[in-house]
């Protein structure tokens, strides 16, 4: 499966990390880790930004983390006009590993608190697109 299936609307069909979408289809959210220096990346990278190696491997992201920040969008860019309002957030898993994603509509913005424990899960849209979202812990 190509990268064109990732996200609410994909603008890219080819990438060196397209295996990421295959993992999402299996219900896994994976990042990459450099086999040389051990630095972890999310979103996945094909090359290490720390030591410049391309000797990368995959690892499964932690299931829980802490909500670092969030915001609600009331407008959207081209292709996403029907989506607002929606909330996005950053999850901190520790050790510099973070994830940026939409927050599930099951969580209302007024229920969110910086520092609260949250989870992540894969998301399958009705049109066949695949992504991930922040959920209740």
Residue 30: CB atoms within 10 A of its CB come to 20
Strand, helix or coil for residue 22: helix
Mean pLDDT of 52-72: 97
Q: Which residues contact 111 (CB under 8 A, 6 or more apart)?
A: none
Report the distance separating Cα 45 and Cα 134, nearest Å.
21
In this prediction, residue 83 carries a pLDDT of 87
18 has pLDDT over 90: no
**Mind listing the pLDDT tens digit for each residue in 36-46?**
999 999 999 99
Q: Which two tokens stand for residue 14?
A: 């080819």
Mean pLDDT of 30-59: 96
When pLDDT is cut at 50, 70 and 90, the band that residue 8 belongs to is low
Residue 4 confidence (pLDDT): 63
Which pLDDT does position 6 carry in this prediction? 62
Between 16 and 114, name the one with better pLDDT.
114
Q: How many domains does one find in the chain?
A: 1
Give the sign of the dihedral formed by CA 41, CA 115, CA 70, CA 106. positive
Statement: residue 106 has pLDDT above 90: yes
The residues with which 88 forms a beta bridge, in sequence order, are 71, 102
Tell whether the model's pLDDT for residue 66 goes beyond 90: yes
Instruction: Name the average pLDDT for the chain.
Output: 90
- The pLDDT of 26-41, averaged and rounded, is 96
What is the C-alpha separation between 106 and 85, in angstroms, rounded?
13
Show the domain range for 85: 3-136
- The confidence score (pLDDT) of residue 11 equals 47
């Amino acid at each position: 499966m190509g990268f064109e299936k990732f996200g609410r609307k994909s603008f890219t069909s080819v990438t060196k990390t397209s295996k990421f979408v295959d993992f999402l289809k299996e219900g896994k959210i994976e990042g990459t880790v450099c086999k040389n220096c051990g630095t972890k990346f999310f979103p996945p990278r094909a090359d290490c930004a720390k030591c410049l190696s391309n000797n990368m491997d995959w690892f499964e992201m932690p299931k829980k983390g802490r909500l670092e920040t969030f915001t609600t969008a009331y407008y959207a860019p081209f292709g996403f006009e029907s989506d607002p309002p929606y909330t996005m957030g950053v999850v901190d898993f520790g050790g510099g590993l973070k994830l940026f994603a939409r927050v599930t509509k099951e969580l209302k913005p007024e229920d969110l608190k910086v520092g609260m424990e949250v989870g992540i899960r894969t998301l399958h849209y009705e049109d066949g697109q695949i992504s991930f979202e922040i959920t209740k812990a």
